[in-house]
Chain A
Amino acid sequence: MDLHFTAKDPTTAERDAVDDVLGAPLDRTAVDRAATGQYLRAERGGAAVRRQRHLLLPALLALVDRVGWISPEGLDYIGLRLGVAPAEVYGVASFYALLALEPRLTRSVVHVCVDLACRMAGGVDEQRHRYEDSDTLVVDSACLGQCDRAPAAMVTEPGAPARHRVDAREATVIAQCGEASLTLLRRVDVIAPTDLDAYRAHGGYVALRRALDIGPAAVRAEVDAAGLVGRGGAAFPTGRKWAAVAAAPGQPHHLVCNADESEPGTFKDRVILEGDPFAVIEAMTIAAYATGCEHGWIYLRGEYPLARARLEEAMARARRGGLLGPNVMGRGFAFDVEVFRGAGAYICGEETAIFNSIEGYRGEPRTKPPFPVEVGLFGRPTLVNNVETLINVLPIVADGAAEYRRLGTVGSPGPKLFCLSGSVRSPGVYEVPFGTTLGGLIERAGGLTEGRTLQAVLIGGAAGSFVGPEQLDLPLTFEATRAAGTTVGSGVVMVIDDQADLVDLVTRIAAFFRDESCGQCVPCRVGTVRQEEAILRLSVGKRQRHERAHDLEILHDVGQTMRDASICGLGQTAWNAIESALTRFKLFPEDAP
């Protein structure tokens, strides 16, 4: 490959930031124009250099962390070091909302959440003004996953080291803290999150020990018998996935923990990652052991700085304790984990988009088949499981499938985390057995905010659907929600009271999908735009009857086509919530005045 770099040399800060990720260059003169006075080519080192492409996104994030943006010089330097053409680096850099390709020279950048829960909490505009000063750049952001503490903003101050923090309302971590009935949340807020001794004292590493005792096949059998299905939204049987990866002939196998929780209204994984990081690490170790993976990745959304810090600390302690590394628990099993930080892209929660993102390509979903269990990360068989799915493995392995199945229903066994937000007295993550009714769950969260009446509930997030007060008796199980034309999805239960503006929420959902579409396929790329345009036209209210009918027809046609013909789940679900609002709430009646 004959790479062509044109920009001038990077600044010392840019060079240091990139070198911190990639290590010092093999041959400094080869990457230093000032030293050679020559036209620059890629760093020497051949395939060994190019095999480091998975460091592309980390290097881009390092530049933004250090100097606030990615300059042409910094971008070229990364390309030079990794043997990747600058156009490709640019293609990747311009894919992510947390990366900037224009100078950002303010002291700090604030991402203000403008998504559903924060809108309902009020004060998105006030939030924007609150941070306004000459040395701060304020930009809008999609859901930051802080819906229980809305309104929220993420503040980044570039530097060495960069400082990241999330500003949100003070709130208890979980309302159920310490309750005896808890399985998944039993340690959250009870123990110090990164205290390994406390973790072990509260039942930690019992499951891994049993897993190592009974062997991989028996672990897989337990997970299969437990009837565990994926908690990320797609509800795929976990046991089947594990069996497929374990049996896949390619080597090595990879494990990816999907912690890119970005579905508006979802924050359960954040609460787990921040409150019980060892549980995620232990569960990943068991999953890796059962499916023959040597290496695990936690793909963590970039908007969760606290989760990242706690995970890194917990991983370091686990390594020191012999619970990660070449000889886990002294049993000859080698496994380690690394955190891969996302950079602001909802689509990267799609399992194949994760692979492209980690591998240093644009986070566009891949065509399936082949499925990840056969051809996944780096072309190898890969197990992708959501954070909540993984931690369910701990009680299954520790106590056995039969015990696990005592909770929940036959079709939806076990406990489930729900993210209660919006107009409830105590928003937060709640752990209940599958089968709890929608109304019961809202009661669990203290019921509706004082003096309000219920207008609707958004279940499953932006890709889910709105249901009305008549559905309060709906048991929250996969089978019952499916029958009712909705979905458990990622566990979002966003309560919308009579004072909330449903049209505003639907308009925001349309904008969200337009912004988050990766742009790869036509139905989603253009369909999300036409959908938003039609919603905006309908919401102005001054349209003639035949114009409304025309726009509703457009929404149905475009929605059906996105659902049928899009490559991935983003486009396929981009019409769900809007359709439910239109049909169940007659949001834009044809015969309106």
Chain B
Amino acid sequence: MTKEERQVERAAMREEKRIVRHANRKHRNAIAFTLFLAPATIAFLVFVVWPVMYNIYLSFLEWNMVSPDKEFVGFANYLKIFTDAPFLQSLRNSGVYILILLISCMIFPYFISFAMVHLVNKGQQVYRSILFFPSLVSLAVCAVVMSFVFNFMTGPVNALLKSVGIRGPNWLNTGGYILFVIGMVATWKIFGYNLIIFLAAILEVPVELIEAAKLEKASKFKIFWRIIFPLTSSTAFYVFVITFSHALSYVFTPISVITAGGPNYKSTNVVYQIYEYAFKNFQSGRAAAAAIFTLILVMFVVVLYQALEKKVHYEN
């Protein structure tokens, strides 16, 4: 073996060692990564993935949650919920709740926060505190208070209406009106939080941009529509998403406290209806089917979100 050949061989051996070392390190890294990911992954698997899977499984069964007998019924539960008037009513009501909350907890706070930043000169802090304060009160407490406020006989709302000669409706016992009352309870909770988010976003828009627009004689509305809105659209998008999900879940407490879904299912929503199927009627199959259907609906909306998101302006 010449000297050169020996050199080449030694280099090859070194290279081989290097590759092995590298592979070992990679292996060690893989273990480290797994360990780091494990806590979150395990929690996710146990508390999200498994319940969803189990839920799908349940939706194909007829079972009362206690009996040892579980009967496989195929898609019967799905067919049943779509012919069940209360469930269809709850879907319609859910749509109305979403609409009410998008108006009261997204559009209103958007304009109000713009007004607070660019139209009001003094007392911003005071307004901010006053408007945020209601968010701190628990939903259940608020629901009880609202049931007094809107009481047909003794509530201040009807007393006020009476003083101007209007006979107030039976808010808590009339379809339509009750949706409004429960919507207001959820608004009470969500409004202040969304307002703060919008305020932060609008304050983030550099003041020079507004000044530049003012020099061009842009009206307040134009400033909002052409500058503030596009630049805060990512926040608006976020608020839209959380308001949508709150509109499904936050009305549960007031429904439960004030009406229990009544009168005649006029105030129930899908989440409350699922609860009623499962824990009042012990129809776990139907509840699971309704939950899966709701999940599919929400997923559909998420796809819509993603299409929308492409039009949103993100900084950088």
Q: Does A pair with B?
A: no
Q: Which residues of A contact B (CB under 8 A)?
A: none
Q: What residues of chain B have their CB less than 8 Å away from a CB belonging to chain A?
A: none
